[in-house]
C-alpha cells in the first residue's frame, strides 16, 4: 500500500481510462504506486525518518497536527509524481511524438528523480520534525555551537603538542 491511491494518479492524466486496450491496468498502476512508495520510503529511512509504509507512523513521531497533515500531503504528492511518470511512460509507448515535441513522460521522470535527490540531500527533513542539515544538524552532523565535551568526547590528548 503506497502513500496514494489509484484515483490520485489517474486524475492527473486527462481523458485516460484504466483497463482499456493499450492502457495500463489497475493492477499495473497499483504496482507502480507501491514501487515508487518503496523508493521514497527507503530514501526517508536512509535519512533517519520512518513515516511508516503508508504514513501511519506520522502520528507517533511527536509532530503537530499541521505537521502530520503536511507530511501526509507531501508523501502522497511524491508518490503520485513517481507513479505518474510510469503511467505516462506506458501511454507514450503507444504514440509517436512529433519532431521537437517534449516528452511528458521524460519530464515527469526527471521531476521524480529530482525529488528523490532532494530527499537524499535532506531538503525535506524539517517537514518530519528532523532539523535539516542545511539548518545545522541532522543524523551524524553536530549541533551548531556544540563542543566535543557536550557529547562526551575527550580531545585533550594530543592537543597543543609541538612535534
Q: How far apart are CA 50 and CA 110, in angstroms?
A: 25
Helix (H) or strand (E) holding 112: helix 104-121
Q: Identify the pLDDT of residue 67.
A: 86
pLDDT of 7 strictly over 70: yes
pLDDT of 132 strictly over 70: no
Q: Identify the pLDDT of residue 153.
A: 61
Q: How far apart are CA 32 and CA 14, in angstroms?
A: 19
Residue recorded with cell 520534525: 129
Mean pLDDT in residue range 89-115: 84
Q: 38 in the Ramachandran plot: left (φ > 0), alpha (ψ -120 to 50) or beta?
A: alpha
Mean pLDDT in residue range 28-32: 95
Mean pLDDT of the chain: 82
Are 105 and 93 a contacting pair, CB within 8 Å?
A: no
pLDDT in tens, 45-78: 998 888 887 778 888 888 888 888 999 999 999 9
Q: How far apart are CA 81 and CA 78, in angstroms?
A: 5
pLDDT band at 142 (very low <50, low <70, confident <90, very high): low
pLDDT of 100 strictly over 90: no
pLDDT band at 91 (very low <50, low <70, confident <90, very high): confident
Q: By C-alpha distance, which of 43, 36, 38, 49 is closest to 8?
A: 36
Q: By C-alpha distance, which of 40, 76, 66 is closest to 126?
A: 66
Residues 6+ apart with CB under 8 A from 111: 81, 85
Amino acid at each position: 500500500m503506497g502513500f496514494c491511491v489509484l484515483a490520485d494518479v489517474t486524475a492527473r492524466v486527462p481523458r485516460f481510462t484504466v483497463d482499456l486496450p493499450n492502457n495500463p491496468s489497475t493492477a499495473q498502476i497499483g504496482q507502480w504506486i507501491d514501487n515508487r512508495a518503496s523508493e521514497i520510503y527507503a530514501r526517508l529511512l536512509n535519512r533517519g525518518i520512518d513515516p511508516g509504509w503508508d504514513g501511519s507512523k506520522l502520528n507517533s513521531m511527536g509532530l503537530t497536527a499541521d505537521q502530520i497533515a503536511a507530511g501526509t500531503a507531501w508523501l502522497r504528492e511524491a508518490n503520485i509524481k513517481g507513479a505518474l511518470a510510469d503511467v505516462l511512460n506506458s501511454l507514450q509507448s503507444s504514440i509517436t511524438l512529433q519532431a521537437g515535441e517534449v516528452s511528458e513522460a521524460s519530464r515527469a521522470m526527471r521531476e521524480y528523480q529530482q525529488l528523490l535527490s532532494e530527499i537524499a540531500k535532506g531538503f525535506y527533513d524539517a517537514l518530519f520534525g528532523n532539523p535539516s542539515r542545511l539548518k545545522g544538524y541532522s543524523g551524524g552532523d553536530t549541533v551548531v555551537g556544540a563542543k566535543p565535551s557536550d557529547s562526551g568526547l575527550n580531545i585533550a590528548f594530543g592537543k597543543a603538542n609541538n612535534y
